[in-house]
Amino acid sequence: MIKANTLLALDSSVIQTASVALQVHSEISYVCLNDQHHHREKLLLTIEQLMRQKSLNLTDLDGFVWTSGPGTFIGLRVAASILQALSFTTHKPVYAVSTLRVMAQRALLNANPTVRRVLVAISAGQRRVYWGVYGLNDQKLACSLQDDCLALPESVPLPEGTMQDQTCLAIGEGWLAFKDSLKQCCADLHLIDIQPSFFPRADDALHLAVEDCLPLGKWVSAEEILPNYLYPTVAR
């Protein structure tokens, strides 16, 4: 297993926020940019500032982490281009984590103990949402109960046989944009709360990478970095 004492994480997958996190051993530094424009220069400046605070050079890092989507096209491309440059320069691995999974991780750990399922919805444009359904596994890590997908809000899929009698929490700004349609589709579920102002964070991506991606050796090189856009399924 690749060592990971020092990791840098980046998220710019939604338009509302972007964030950078730096882990040095067990200590994590986190900066959130509440800006709807994920300018490359702002993210690079934040990375530089965090590295300077810890007296680190890029070559001191053991790897990089990012929320690889789904999410906004521009934000994902900005993050991908930054990480490609950093990984290519340092020859260090990159660990990708689903944006929806990152959101679900914090929601499940911070929610009421009765919550067993999280329904994540992010607006995707053209009246569609990026949709994911998550629970916690035995290691207290968010796990997908079905594949993340791009769907119409009135027809989002739900996993069969795993939702009955389970208390659910809804998160993501897709629940604000399409609240009525999503609630109608999930009418048979025990939904206790809707939290539309819930966004991905780079420090949560770090946690998932360290606890899941690293032990399983799930990493890519600079040349293999690709955003997960999630395209609609075309019937054949």
> Which CATH number is 93's domain given?
3.30.420.40
**Together in a domain, 125 and 44:** no
Residue 219 included in any domain: yes
Residue 235 included in any domain: no
Distances in whole angstroms, Cα of residue 91 to Cα of each of 141, 160, 174, 224: 28, 43, 37, 12
Residue 210 included in any domain: yes
The separation between CA 4 and the C-alpha centre of its own chain, rounded to angstroms, equals 20
Output the pTM of the full model.
0.94
The rounded distance, in Å, linking the Cα atoms of 229 and 74 is 11
Q: How far apart are the first and last CA of the chain?
A: 41
- The total number of structural domains in the chain stands at 2
The rounded distance, in Å, linking the Cα atoms of 223 and 4 is 21
Distances in whole angstroms, Cα of residue 97 to Cα of each of 15, 52, 122: 18, 26, 16
11-42: pLDDT as tens digits: 999 999 999 999 999 899 999 998 656 678 89
Q: How many residues does the chain have?
A: 236
Residue owning tokens 């069969």: 160
**Together in a domain, 71 and 115:** no
**Together in a domain, 63 and 108:** no
The rounded distance, in Å, linking the Cα atoms of 55 and 19 is 20
Q: For residue 193, give the 3-state DSSP assignment.
A: strand
Residue 148 included in any domain: yes
Residue 160 included in any domain: yes
Residue 230 included in any domain: no
Q: What are phi and psi of 136, to 5 degrees?
A: -100, 140
Verify cis geometry, omega within 30 degrees of 0, for the bond prior to 70.
Answer: yes
Residue 136: CA atoms inside 13 Å, Cβ hemisphere, count?
Answer: 19
Write out the residue range of the structural domain in which residue 140 sits. Answer: 100-195
Confidence (pLDDT) at 34: 85
Confidence (pLDDT) at 111: 94
**Together in a domain, 20 and 83:** yes
The chain-wide mean pLDDT, for the chain, equals: 92
Asked if 148 and 230 count as a contact pair (C-beta separation under 8 A), the reply is yes
80-110: pLDDT as tens digits: 999 999 999 999 999 999 999 999 999 999 9
Confidence (pLDDT) at 3: 60
Residue among 236, 70, 67, 233 nearest 152 (CA) = 233
**Together in a domain, 175 and 218:** no
**Together in a domain, 159 and 90:** no
Residue 233 included in any domain: no
Strands (E) across the chain are located at 6-11, 18-24, 27-33, 63-67, 94-97, 115-125, 128-136, 142-144, 149-151, 167-171, 190-195
**Together in a domain, 148 and 177:** yes
